[in-house]
Amino acid sequence: MVRERIGFIGVGLMGHGMAGNIVDKGWPLTVMAHRNRAPVEDLKARGAAEAANPKGVAEQSDIVVLCVTGSAEVQSIIEGVDGLAAAGKPLLVIDCSTADPSVTMRLATELAPSGITLIDAPLGRTPADAQAGTLDVMVGGDPLVVARARSVLDAFAARVVHVGPTGTGHTMKLLNNFLSMGYAALYSEALALGSKAGLTPQLFDNVIRGGRMDCGFYQTFFKWVLDRDPNAHKFTLRNGLKDMTYLASFANSVGLANPVGAAVRNSFALAVGTGHGEDYVPMLSDVISELNGIK
């Protein structure tokens, strides 16, 4: 069977592992460097080719996977002077970023007449899961297009859920991240309150771990709280704020009052505003404690 050629843009914390699984499982792969050449050199050593810009990636690909920060980056990669669209050829673009659903739907509509099909396939889980090929993926797109994309997604995912038409993947991802960022804000505030009352994080964990309030997110969060493992959950507070801002925009667009979402966003805005934007999500617990005078 002749496999389609895959392009991959965004070989960062998540993308490196995803692209590695694609090339290791036999797909012809072309990648593009951004700031860090190390993952690109690693992928080239494993058989990938390199292109200088998105147009070059498109020229060597049938399907292009994007794993970048958000809607602004996706638009630049597709529509820029040397963007994917500049190649002037049919493409399937799989957007694995966490983005604004309204932008995703607009882009898909605008690109369709030029033969570019855009679907959204945002991710759940961590960079470790990307390396292991065990990510969760929530996909929005036409069923026939999703079926075409499925074999590529299966290269780096253990669970793929088709949630509806284009845009619904990014909508579901925002809801997923609302829950996870909400947990982070709750844990951080609860730990600070507990410390004020003389309850240590270890005691807190002794009660929660193994009970009904335990979950996978709790466990990675507490790898930082208890073990100070900086790699426990490599997702920055700045990206958390970005996602909660997208959620606020989405809530406004549908006329929904979301006071809890606003409170969670404010916790992340506080952390970013006090210089902690590049810290990872579990480190929010330190920020909230320090701002309340707790060492």
User: How far is Cα 56 from Cα 78, in angstroms, rounded to an integer?
Assistant: 12
Judge whether 69 and 242 are in contact, CB under 8 Å.
Answer: yes
Which is nearest to 22 in space by CA: 159, 140, 154, 122? Answer: 154
CATH code, 171-291: 1.10.1040.10
What average pLDDT does the segment 116-144 reach? 95
What is the tens place of the pLDDT at every residue in 161-206? 999 999 999 999 999 999 999 999 999 999 999 999 999 999 999 9
Cα–Cα distance, 199 to 172 (Å, whole number): 36
Report pLDDT for 67: 96
- Output the CA torsion sign for 126, 131, 132, 133: positive
Tens-digit pLDDT profile for residues 16-29: 999 999 999 999 99
- Average pLDDT across the chain, whole number: 95
| Amino acid (1-letter code) at residue 219 | Q
At residue 1 the predicted structure's pLDDT band, cuts being 50, 70 and 90, is low
pLDDT of residue 269: 98
Contact 48, 34 (CB under 8 A): no
Q: In CATH, what class is 6-165?
A: alpha beta
Mean pLDDT of 96-110: 93
Smallest CA-to-CA distance from 95 within 178, 166, 25, 179 is with 166
**What is the pLDDT at residue 295?**
81
Residue 2 reports pLDDT greater than 70:
no
The rounded distance, in Å, linking the Cα atoms of 233 and 114 is 39
The pTM of the full predicted model, rounded to 2 decimals, is: 0.88
Which residues are catalytic, by number?
173
- pLDDT for 109 equals 96
Q: From CA 220, how far away is CA 294, in angstroms rounded? A: 22
Half-sphere exposure of 291 (CA within 13 A, CB side): 18
Predicted confidence at residue 36, as pLDDT, reads 84
Q: What are the residues facing 232 on neighbouring strands?
A: none
The percentage of residues in the chain with a pLDDT greater than 90, rounded to a whole number, is 91
**Range 127-137 average pLDDT:** 95
Q: In this predicted structure, what is the pLDDT of residue 126?
A: 87
Of the chain, the end-to-end C-alpha distance in Å amounts to: 60
Model pLDDT, residue 80: 86
Sorted by where each begins, the domain ranges of the chain are 6-165, 171-291
Mean pLDDT of 196-218: 96
Alpha-carbon distance of 52 to 38, in angstroms, equals 15
- pLDDT tens, residue by residue, 50-93: 999 999 999 999 999 999 989 999 999 999 899 999 999 999 99
Find the length of the chain. 295
Residue 3 has pLDDT above 90, yes or no: no
Look at residue 189 in the predicted model and tell me its pLDDT. 98
